[in-house]
Amino acid sequence: MSTIVELIVRLGALVIDNVTALGNFVLFLTTALWCAITPPYKPRLTIRQMRSIGAESIMLVALIGAFTGMVLGLQGYNTLRRFGSEGALGTVVALVLVRELGPVLAALMVTARAGSAMAAELGSMQATEQIDALAVMAINPIQYLVSPRVIAGVISFPLLTSIFDVIGIWGGYLIGVGLMGAPGGSYLNGIAQNMSGHDIMTGLYKALVFGLVVMWVCCYKGYHAQRMATGVSRATTEAVVLSSVLILAWDYFLTSILL
């Protein structure tokens, strides 16, 4: 009997701990969003984060976008040729990139690069009491450290996704038309005729949500890292893994809503 009671107590404690953690997680975001829209505003910090998250990710995103488009061009041509539909290559490449691969892959790449760095930076600041130092100086640490990153992420992710899409479409043209011999006019006309504003906005809405989620998760994990070396590394790993999972999960939910 006592074993059963002990099990129930442990289960109850586990549930309470997890619900508390989830509540803290959500409160963290709501606090960051509230601080973002209340003074004192931090435009310089936000611009600095946009450079770090956005501008410094452009080359990586462009590179991945190019290779993604090139693979799509190659695979797409070989598949469409079986059905005599090489002319649809441009439509296929563009729609797949703009609606799905662009926002998802760009978000994953920025998570790996900037999200991990952000979690490590905040974790290191937590471990060395720099966050406490801000609080003691009467500076709200979340307003100073987190809100600029969240705003920068929400702005940067759609812009990076757009760059990914354009470079990817060009990559698909380079391989599909330039190398494989698909008709170039059909490639471009297909995009113009079959891609709508809704397709483009779908991808950008996804990117915006991904930007919010990634910044939220990476900042939360770094901010709450345990004050030791393994704590920082664990926070960084968890930030990247959780962000990646949530990107894919939210991709499904958003696709089901926006289709």
Partner 1 sequence: MPIVEQNGNAKAAPVATDAFAIEVRDLRHRFGAQQVLKGVDLNCLRGHITTIVGPSGCGKTVLLKHLNLLMRADSGRIVIEGVDVTRLGNSGLDEVRKQFGMLFQAGALFDSMTVFDNVAFPLVENTRMERDEIAMKVREMLANVGLKGMENKYPSELSGGMQKRAALARALIRNPKILMLDEPTTGLDPTRTGSIHALIRHTQQRFGLTVVMVSHDVPAVFEISDRVAFMHEGRMKLTGTPAEVTAANDEVFNRFLAGRAAGDERDAAAL
| End-to-end CA separation in angstroms for the chain | 53
All residues at 6 or more sequence positions from 161 whose CB lies less than 8 Å from its CB, including other chains:
102, 103, 106, 107, 203, 204, 206, 207
Is residue 203 within 8 Å of 103, Cβ to Cβ?
yes
- Which of 5, 37, 136, 257 touches partner 1 by CB under 8 A? 136
Taking CB under 8 A as the rule, does residue 139 contact partner 1? yes
Taking CB under 8 A as the rule, does residue 226 contact partner 1? no
* CA nearest neighbour of 160 among 9, 90, 22, 57: 57
- Binding segment toward partner 1, per CB under 8 A, in 132-140, 160-168, 205-213, 237-245: 132-140
- Binding segment toward partner 1, per CB under 8 A, in 64-72, 127-135, 184-192, 207-215: 127-135
Is residue 230 within 8 Å of 109, Cβ to Cβ?
no
Taking CB under 8 A as the rule, does residue 130 contact partner 1? yes
Other C-beta atoms closer than 10 Å to the C-beta of 26 total: 12
* CA nearest neighbour of 54 among 147, 156, 155: 156
Taking CB under 8 A as the rule, does residue 137 contact partner 1? yes
Q: How is residue 256 written in tokens?
A: 């089901």
Taking CB under 8 A as the rule, does residue 37 contact partner 1? no
- Binding segment toward partner 1, per CB under 8 A, in 22-30, 103-111, 123-131, 241-249: 123-131
Q: How far is the CB of 225 from partner 1 (least distance, A)?
A: 15
The residue among 79 and 128 lying less far from partner 1, judged by its C-beta, is 128
Residue type, 95: L
Taking CB under 8 A as the rule, does residue 135 contact partner 1? yes
Q: How far is the CB of 127 from partner 1 (least distance, A)?
A: 9
Distances (CA, A) of 160 to 57, 62, 207, 229: 8, 8, 9, 32
Taking CB under 8 A as the rule, does residue 124 contact partner 1? yes
* CA nearest neighbour of 197 among 99, 107, 65: 99
The footprint of partner 1 on this chain (CB under 8 A) covers a number of residues equal to 13
Q: How is residue 77 written in tokens?
A: 């041509």
Ranges within 142-181 binding partner 1 (CB under 8 A) = 144
Residues in contact with partner 1, shown as a per-residue x/- string from 66 to 105 under the rule CB under 8 A: ----------------------------------------
Residues in touch with partner 1 (CB under 8 A): 124-125, 128-130, 132-133, 135-139, 144
